[in-house]
Amino acid sequence: MLYVGNLVYTVLQAAVKLSIILFLRRIFPSQTFRRIAQAIEIILLLHGTLFTIPFAVQCIPVRSIWDRTITDRQCLNLQAVGYSSGGLAMAEDIAILLLPIPHVWQLKISLPRRLAVIALFSVGSL
């Protein structure tokens, strides 16, 4: 079950973040925002793809993941893969959180309202 969970989690995590970026691109259509968003999208796609592979083939033969009677197996250090994936995921989260702030700050509304809008975007990162 953990095997399938790791695979699904990595793919879904990238998909959710991509949907947030695509939503933000519709709200902030500027060229600069679009370029930065596209760079983050590429990183998300690479992360989702490249970290699914080690989770999929974490042990050779793959059947040895759930069949403990196979003794001649070779496995990756999943803790290292998990830490590196988690670190990259945190960096992606921070980038997505910070992405709309400069554009919200330029809105012609009062300072308390700007701060409220930034707070709303920040709550979405929880």
pLDDT by residue (tens digit) across 93-113? 999 999 999 988 888 999 999
| Exposure string for 78-102, b = 16+ CB within 10 A, e = fewer | eeebeeebeebbeebeebbbebbee
Domain ranges of the chain: 2-98
Per-residue pLDDT of 49-82, as tens digits, reads 998 898 888 888 888 888 888 888 888 888 898 8
Q: Does the reported pTM lie above 0.85?
A: no
The whole-number pLDDT of residue 1 equals 66
Question: How many Cα atoms within 13 Å fall on the side-chain side of residue 21?
Answer: 24
Q: What percent of the chain has pLDDT over 90?
A: 45
Residues 24, 37 contacting (CB under 8 angstroms): yes
